[in-house]
Amino acid sequence: MFFVSIIFAGVEFIVVLRLKLVLMLIPFLLISDQLWAKEVKLMILGDSLSAAYGLKQEQGWVSLLQNAWDGENITIINAAVSGETTDGGLARLPRLLKQHQPTHMLIELGGNDGLRGYPINKMKANLKQMVEAAQSENVDVIIQQMQIPTNFGRRYTELFTNTFTDIAEEYQIPVIPFLLEEIALNDDLMQQDQIHPNAKAQPMITAFMDKQLRPLLNINE
């Protein structure tokens, strides 16, 4: 019995020792996972709505979202240009992909095409080429629904609106709602031109985009 007790005591000691070692290693394992986690690089290919038109860059929703994601392994590349059309975005895209090598890309373009009455089939072709160019570089693409006034008639507006969901369905990519959906009709949240959101609206857009993008980028709540 004496030897049996010694054996059991020895086994218990080994189990306790191993448990302590595991507990000591957990913080190092967590740090290692964080260090080796793949960095998410989200490139926003957009227009003035993402380029902080009429505001300081740090006031815009893109900068605010980067701040909100502080501590996450995520970098936002703001490739938005005020006045940008799908023609311009498509022309710039190859250089941007090579320069920044994003893992994800949000296409927030088409609004200026629609406001200027550009042909819908041309806009759609440009957007499709952007998706294909990004996917050929193994970039996960997200497309943003855009909205325009009915200046060019109901038929044009309907074709414009359907373009984004059509592309999302064809390429099996996520489409997220228009970023000014709850803002555009509120004068207190718009600049004098009634096209661009003001500084007061930017935190609201940030919260909206955070909610939309977080699950698509696998960011924990």
Q: Please tell me which residue in 47, 50, 113, 196 is annotated as part of the active site.
A: 196
Strands 140-144 and 40-46: unpaired
196 in catalytic set: yes
Task: Tell whether the model's pLDDT for residue 20 goes beyond 70.
Answer: no
Candidate from 34-38, 56-60, 86-90, 118-122 with smallest mean pLDDT: 34-38
Q: How confident is the model at residue 12 (pLDDT cuts 50, 70, 90)?
A: low
104 in catalytic set: no
Q: Please tell me which residue in 70, 187, 188, 193 is annotated as part of the active site.
A: 193
Asked whether 106 and 46 are in contact (CB, 8 A), the reply is yes
**pLDDT tens column, 79-122:** 999 999 999 999 999 999 999 999 999 999 999 999 999 999 99
Q: Please tell me which residue in 47, 48, 50, 113 is annotated as part of the active site.
A: 48
Domain regions of the chain by residue span: 1-37, 39-217
**pLDDT tens column, 163-206:** 999 999 999 999 999 999 999 999 999 999 999 999 999 999 99
pLDDT of residue 219: 81
Q: What is the DSSP letter of 218?
A: T
Q: Give the per-residue SS3 of 35-94.
A: HHCCCEEEEEEECCCCCCCCCCHHHCHHHHHHHHCCCCCEEEEECCCCCCCHHHHHHHHH
Task: Tell whether the model's pLDDT for residue 156 goes beyond 60.
Answer: yes
**pLDDT tens column, 189-199:** 999 999 999 99
For the question of whether the overall pTM of this predicted structure is more than 0.85, the answer is no
188 in catalytic set: no
pLDDT of residue 188: 97
CATH label, 39-217, candidates 3.40.50.1110, 1.20.1250.20, 3.30.499.10, 3.90.1150.10: 3.40.50.1110
Q: How many other C-beta atoms can be found within 10 angstroms of the C-beta atom of residue 101?
A: 13
